[in-house]
Amino acid sequence: MKHFLLMVAVFVITSGCSKSAPEPNNKLEFVGKWVSVRDFRSSIDISKNGDSYIVFAITPDIYLGGPPIRAKMPATMENDMLRVESLFRSALVVDKRTGRLVTPDGDYRRLTDVPEDKNLRGCWKAYLTKKYFIDRVEQDDNVKGVLYYDGRYSTSYAVNKSVSQLVVSSYQFLRPGTIELAVEKNDSGAASIGMVRTIDYHIRNGELHIESIPVDAKDVGGNTKKMVKFESVSKYLSGLSKEECTKVL
């Protein structure tokens, strides 16, 4: 609830200006979609509504693991500030130095400023996972999954076929070789739900390799050991839409 109130009552701290920073052309500098730098699942969409504005905020329910929390609020322009009418009257200001919205939840940047990797676009089907232990590498083809990437964001669905456990994750491209992952659903346990972490990837010989950080895992003998690396390997499926991709699973 605290996170929700922060999102609804957006309180923005104004930062200083720089001579090298571009000055806003008009008051439409607020209009558009803004994405949280800290958690890409949080967004603020600002649209013009006659002489006023509409502010639509979305944030994940990180406490209960439920559906995203949505709030729609009216706003009016007052000097260089956008006054938002919510539980608490607050002001939105664009930081002229960085071009970002700054809130108690962290910085927000325009969606158009989010980088993308065209090589990742489309549907990828996972067929193999690898667990790297200190003394050996274990391969498992009993896990299947799909990942669909639209250029900036993606959603993956992975299932352990032997126990029918579903894990749903969202991704955001950060820079070449690095993506950000957030776990949305995990049938094997809620401990990782809402967690956002940075992982590495590379495309080699037409296959997508995603490598996660070291974690504790059970080997084939049932012993819990520290993994050096966990890797999933996926093949590209050409010409599939997001809906078609998820049906492959």
Residue whose C-alpha is closest to residue 203's, from 138, 118, 127, 137: 118
What are the structural domains, with CATH classification, of the chain?
2-113 (2.40.128), 118-248 (2.40.128.280)
Q: What is the pLDDT of residue 234?
A: 93
8 Å CB contact between 43 and 33 = yes
* Cβ atoms within 10 Å, residue 154: 23
For the record, the structure tokens of 79 come out as 């000097």
pLDDT tens per residue across span 169-222: 888 787 888 888 887 777 766 556 667 778 889 999 989 999 876 666 665 666
Residue in 208, 216, 206, 210 with CA at minimum distance from that of residue 197: 210
Alpha-carbon gap, residue 168 to 185, rounded angstroms: 5
Q: Where are the beta strands (DSSP E) in the chain?
A: 32-36, 43-49, 52-59, 69-78, 81-84, 90-92, 101-103, 106-110, 122-132, 137-140, 143-149, 153-160, 165-175, 178-186, 196-204, 207-212, 216-218, 224-226, 229-237
Distance CA(205)–CA(233), nearest Å, equals 11
- pTM equals 0.62
pLDDT for 109-142, tens place per residue?
887 776 778 888 899 999 998 888 888 898 988 8
Amino acid code (one letter) for 46: I
Least confident of 4-18, 153-167, 225-239: 4-18
- Cα 113–43–148 angle (5° rounding)? 75
Burial of 137 (0-12, 13-18, 19+ CB in 10 A): exposed
Q: What share of the chain is helix, strand, coil (3-state, %, to 5)?
A: 10, 50, 40
What are the pLDDT digits (tens) for 58-93?
A: 888 777 767 788 889 999 988 888 888 875 667 888
Are 74 and 83 contacting, i.e. CB atoms less than 8 angstroms apart?
Answer: no
Interior angle at CA 122, CA 56 and CA 157, nearest 5: 70
DSSP-assigned states of every residue in 89-123: -EEE-B-TTT--EEETTEEEEEGGGS---GGG-EE
